[in-house]
């Protein structure tokens, strides 16, 4: 076999143990089942990423944008929608908490780790930050609109079908704008370039097979991965909420992170950051917008909405606040190295807060409160974001150009 096809072979091999365990129903440790199912989703995510990149060569622009955007969030979507569906089957269960944890963790990882590490790697090689093209104002603008709306959700204390309709509406509006733009010739590199060099007929067939195979793997392994991840947490004495929030998104986010880093190391960091920006918009609108609708479908009614407590709303607030700060930094279409360091430090601060919350509380003579640092970091993000908006207010009106075709 040609060396060019080896990445596809390795990705497919990653999916096989998880598929075998799924179909053979072998009883083994939840840790083993979660690991193999997670590796299967990881392998399928790589295949999806390569197929999406090559598939855009043979689809009309508007169709490609809609299809690829949906497929790009499919791994994350499958796990989150499984938790949401199960929450609708049993509203008193903890599945609704898992759904919000998975969604907020994926979104915060994308900015706090994905964006910041990408800039720092690029800056270490080329001694400068990353500049986006002017048309990326559309993604920044709609991400900003979605973020402002998301800030309202914790304030009103509910996540309903109306919220879902608003977020999905913003996503459709975004698609209508970018779908009417001309076709852009983006470079196809890495394993996707192998597909791009095929004849149109063979490429279409190959891409279709990869889409079908990857989607099947993700759908089949979403349940065993999700359930056994929770069981593993209980077995190991680890908070399963944290496992769902941080470990689960890694399988779906890792391929995109790796590919973006490869682009950055080759000097094409604008394309890499633009891709992660679009992914954040997809997750913050399409993924979040579908949660109340899937819950309503599962529970067979639009009311009552998914039950969420103060912890879940604080998670949403923290995620929206981080998004607000990141958007403020990107208003001038340039993300500097020092700004990336701030994004990374703030992310690490809130990520590690469960480790130092109790010692800090004891040192200050305060009662333990797991949400204390969530609130502190939420306010920090919002204050830093407002200060950045005021400082760079001349770029605020320029964002309105994002509404243009």
Place of tokens 């394993």: 191
- Give the residue from 283, 282, 306, 284 showing the smallest Cα distance to 294: 306
Cβ atoms within 10 A of the Cβ of 91, count?
15
Structural domain of residue 194, as residue ranges?
Answer: 3-403
Tell me how long the chain is: 405
DSSP 158: -
- Give the residue from 363, 56, 28 showing the smallest Cα distance to 211: 56
CA angle 95, 101, 104 (to 5 degrees): 140
Place of tokens 């977020």: 167
Tens place of pLDDT per residue across the chain (405 aa) = 477 788 899 999 999 999 998 888 777 888 999 999 989 988 888 888 788 778 777 765 555 555 665 666 677 788 899 999 999 999 888 899 999 999 999 899 999 999 999 999 888 887 778 899 888 899 999 999 999 999 999 999 989 999 999 999 999 999 888 877 765 556 667 788 888 888 888 888 998 898 889 888 988 888 889 888 888 888 888 888 888 888 888 777 777 777 777 777 777 777 788 878 888 898 899 889 999 999 999 999 988 889 888 999 999 999 999 999 999 999 999 999 999 999 999 999 999 998 898 888 888 888 888 889 999 999 999 999 999 999 999 999 899 888 887
Place of tokens 């979040």: 288
Phi, psi of 335 (to 5 degrees): -110, 110
**Cβ(82)–Cβ(222) under 8 Å?**
yes
What does 62-99 look like in DSSP terms, one character per residue? HHHHHHHHHHHTHHHHHHHHHHHHHHHH-TTSSHHHHH
- Supply the pTM of this predicted model: 0.88
How many domains in the chain? 1
DSSP 128: S
The crossing angle, in degrees rounded to 10, of helices 74-89 and 248-265 is 160
Cβ atoms within 10 A of the Cβ of 175, count?
17
Strand partners, 42: none
Rounded Cα gap, residues 139 and 277, in angstroms: 7
358: part of which helix (H) or strand (E)?
Answer: helix 353-364
CATH code, domain with 70: 1.20.1420.30
- Give the residue from 244, 242, 247, 273 showing the smallest Cα distance to 260: 273
Cβ atoms within 10 A of the Cβ of 397, count?
8
């Amino acid at each position: 076999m040609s060396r060019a096809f080896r990445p596809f072979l390795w990705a497919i091999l990653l999916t096989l143990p998880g598929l075998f365990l799924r179909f053979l129903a072998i009883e083994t440790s939840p840790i083993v089942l979660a690991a193999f199912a997670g590796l299967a989703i990881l392998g399928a995510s790589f295949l999806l990423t390569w197929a999406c990149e090559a598939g855009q060569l043979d689809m009309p622009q508007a169709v490609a944008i809609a299809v690829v955007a949906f497929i790009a969030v499919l791994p994350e979507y499958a796990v989150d929608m499984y938790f949401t569906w199960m929450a609708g089957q049993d509203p008193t269960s903890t599945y609704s908490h898992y759904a919000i944890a998975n969604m907020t963790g994926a979104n915060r990882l994308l900015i706090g780790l994905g964006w910041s590490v990408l800039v720092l790697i690029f800056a270490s090689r080329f001694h400068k930050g990353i500049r986006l093209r002017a048309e990326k104002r559309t993604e920044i603008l709609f991400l900003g609109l979605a973020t402002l709306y998301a800030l309202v959700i914790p304030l009103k204390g509910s996540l309903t079908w109306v919220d879902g309709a608003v977020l999905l509406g913003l996503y459709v509006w975004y698609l209508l704008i970018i779908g009417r733009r001309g076709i852009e010739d983006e470079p196809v590199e890495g394993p996707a370039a192998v597909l791009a060099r095929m004849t149109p007929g063979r490429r279409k067939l190959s891409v279709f097979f990869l889409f079908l195979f990857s989607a099947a793997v993700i759908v089949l392994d979403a349940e065993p991965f999700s359930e056994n991840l929770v069981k593993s947490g209980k077995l190991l004495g680890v908070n399963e909420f944290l496992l769902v929030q941080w470990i689960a998104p890694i399988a779906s986010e890792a391929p995109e992170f790796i590919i973006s880093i490869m682009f950055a190391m080759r000097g094409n960091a604008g394309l890499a950051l633009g891709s992660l920006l679009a992914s954040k918009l997809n997750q913050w609108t399409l993924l979040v917008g579908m949660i109340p609708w899937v819950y309503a479908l599962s529970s067979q009614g639009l009311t009552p909405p998914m039950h969420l407590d103060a912890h879940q709303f604080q998670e949403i607030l923290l995620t929206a606040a981080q998004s607000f700060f990141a958007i403020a930094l990107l208003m001038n279409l340039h993300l500097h190295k020092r700004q990336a360091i701030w994004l990374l430090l703030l992310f690490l601060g809130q990520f590690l807060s469960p480790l130092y919350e109790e010692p800090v509380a004891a040192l200050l003579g305060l009662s333990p409160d797991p949400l204390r640092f969530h609130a502190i970091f939420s306010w920090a993000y919002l204050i830093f974001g407002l200060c950045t908006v005021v400082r760079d207010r001349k770029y605020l009106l320029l964002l309105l150009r994002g509404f243009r075709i």
